[in-house]
Amino acid sequence: MVFAAVLAGSLVSPAHAANLNTNAVVCEGTNAADQGALGRGPDGVYNGAAAIHFALCTVPRSPLPSGATSGSFYVDGDNFNGQSTTCILYSYQWTGQFLGSASFTSASSSYDVFLTLTAAQLGTYAYTSLLCQLPPTVNGLASAMLRGVTSLQ
């Protein structure tokens, strides 16, 4: 027996995407030295070396809804011992064409930074990534913890 369901003409409304939270533990180094310096914990990534190193994170997102003029993101983390963290959110077209970026530097002990990119910078097939410069350790202790990034949908 074969069953079939027909939804054509039904009053099913389109699904709305939920915010996408990404723990920074998935971030990678930009090269072998950065990769070797990054430490991971259940709550994020940190620089475990005595020199500045970088973490590069994928930022999953859904296409913007029709009529949206921008897309928004939150980046979360902590700084210790008076250090600061700098991050840049990048957007690239599927062809590799650079579309835009937004950045911040925070010396706050705890940060939850709001970033936006225009709709033109977040096309349907655009990819986003986050590059963060993590400060070096001080007396063997991590100076910052990148917690994660949220793509607001």
pTM: 0.87
> What are the φ and ψ backbone dihedral angles of 74, each rounded to 5 degrees?
-120, 135
Count of structural domains within the chain: 1
Question: pLDDT tens digits, residue range 12-42?
Answer: 545 556 799 999 999 999 999 999 999 999 9
- Note whether residue 4 is domain-resident: no
Print the domain residue range for 121. 20-152
- Note whether residue 54 is domain-resident: yes
- Note whether residue 61 is domain-resident: yes
- Note whether residue 7 is domain-resident: no
Which CATH number fits the domain that encloses residue 57?
A: 2.60.120.260
- Note whether residue 13 is domain-resident: no
Structure-token pair, residue 88: 């840049």
- Note whether residue 6 is domain-resident: no
- Note whether residue 44 is domain-resident: yes
Inform me whether the pLDDT recorded for 98 exceeds 70. yes
Q: Identify the pLDDT of residue 43.
A: 93
- Of 54, 60, 36, 49, whose CA–CA distance to 128 is shortest? 60
- Of 138, 117, 118, 112, whose CA–CA distance to 46 is shortest? 138
